[in-house]
Amino acid sequence: MTAPLLDVRDLRTQFGTGVRAVKAVDGVSFTVDRGEILGLVGESGSGKSITGFSILGLIEPPGRIEGGRILFMGEDLVGAPREALRRIRGKRIAMIFQDPMMTLNPVLTIGTQMVEAVLAHDAVPRRTAVERARDALGLVGIPSPDERLKAYPHQFSGGMRQRVAIAIALLHRPDLVIADEPTTALDVTIQSQILYEVRRLADAFGMALVWISHDLGVVAGLADRVAVMYAGRIVETGTVDDVLDRPAHPYTRGLMDALPATAVPGDRLRPIPGMAPLPTSRPDGCPFRTRCFAATDACRAEPVVTVAAGHEWRCHHPIREPAA
């Protein structure tokens, strides 16, 4: 078996220093293979977006990567020189952001913002860069791309802007795209179109995808594997079938039960009681124990990771024993 495309090991990203430091990402490990789609799922504040930004080296002070390794094609991105990171960003690893209304610069044309992205990595004539930008817009289904290159972001709808952002991400046919809740800010009908486009393009170009979302339903339809994050850690990882059909961690179970799509019609939804703990006041041991129906005194101790045939969880009281 070949080495994974992306191998994140014990990543720790925190904001501030000393006792008041906020450990947003607290020992996260996962891998992504070439062409694979990983769904990174969790509630707000679970550290999933910070994980995504950490991979691209886009954590800004007072935040910083405190420890761990991010191996991308065998090269450690943690502590890599700025220029080396810049060459990877947008070229080998691209990112799509959550809010398409905010990601494009309002005072520059779409064409300018696409052409500069081409020229940042490839020394090609300007005309070639414009052609590549135009082709990329056509690829994501934007009509009359030649004219649209001259338009400004405010002349596009939210869904169209997200298509532009995707087109920018695809300009260099990256090996890995990190998508940070790219459909959350969009209408439901637009969401499914964008999901379909991303899936189609990822397949067509053999791109690996890390799809960050709080929506298990979206991830179920899109991803090959799922990693569930809670309080800065991954609590369960596995294939979509394993994790969503046979969840081991009570938190994953809780997320499933809170989904309207999986509930029996007429029954009440069962939300997880309480709120996700603030990163400043996480319980010791298993951070989920204060909200968990299965919690016992044993949960005051740090839970270890159990691995069973590619399905991993971090819990003292998993819901089911691993199938033989």
Tell me which residues touch other proteins (CB under 8 A). Answer: 56, 58, 60, 86-91, 94-95, 97, 99, 102-109, 116-117, 120-121, 152, 154, 165, 168
Find all residues with CB under 8 Å of 254, minimum gap 6, and list them: 270, 272, 291
Taking the complex as a whole, the smallest distance from the CB of residue 30 to other proteins amounts, in Å, to 20
Angle formed by the axes of helices 158-170 and 126-139, nearest 10°: 130
**Closest listed residue to residue 144, CA positions, set 152, 134, 153, 132:** 134
| Residue 90 or 318 having the CB closest to other proteins | 90
| Residue 56 or 223 having the CB closest to other proteins | 56
CA 113 – CA 97 distance, rounded (Å): 15
| Residue 35, amino acid | G
| Residue 59 or 228 having the CB closest to other proteins | 59
Taking the complex as a whole, the smallest distance from the CB of residue 183 to other proteins amounts, in Å, to 16
| Residue 95 or 234 having the CB closest to other proteins | 95
Q: Alpha carbon of 184 to those of 22, 80, 110, 229, 289: distances in Å?
A: 25, 32, 22, 18, 29
Taking the complex as a whole, the smallest distance from the CB of residue 82 to other proteins amounts, in Å, to 8
Taking the complex as a whole, the smallest distance from the CB of residue 152 to other proteins amounts, in Å, to 4
Q: Alpha carbon of 65 to those of 77, 229, 275: distances in Å?
A: 11, 18, 26
Taking the complex as a whole, the smallest distance from the CB of residue 317 to other proteins amounts, in Å, to 40
Helices (H), 47-187: 48-55, 82-88, 100-103, 110-119, 126-139, 145-148, 158-170
Taking the complex as a whole, the smallest distance from the CB of residue 96 to other proteins amounts, in Å, to 9
Long-range pairs for 263-271: beta carbons < 8 A, 24 or more residues apart: none
Which DSSP state fits 260?
G
CA 306 – CA 249 distance, rounded (Å): 11
| Residue 176 or 243 having the CB closest to other proteins | 176
| Residue 185 or 295 having the CB closest to other proteins | 185
**Closest listed residue to residue 52, CA positions, set 22, 89, 83:** 89
| Residue 152 or 205 having the CB closest to other proteins | 152
CA 225 – CA 316 distance, rounded (Å): 23
| Residue 10, amino acid | D
Taking the complex as a whole, the smallest distance from the CB of residue 56 to other proteins amounts, in Å, to 6
CA 289 – CA 284 distance, rounded (Å): 9
Taking the complex as a whole, the smallest distance from the CB of residue 110 to other proteins amounts, in Å, to 11
| Residue 207 or 292 having the CB closest to other proteins | 207
| Residue 102 or 307 having the CB closest to other proteins | 102
Find all residues with CB under 8 Å of 249, minimum gap 6, and list them: 228, 235, 236, 288, 313, 314, 315, 318, 319
Taking the complex as a whole, the smallest distance from the CB of residue 188 to other proteins amounts, in Å, to 23
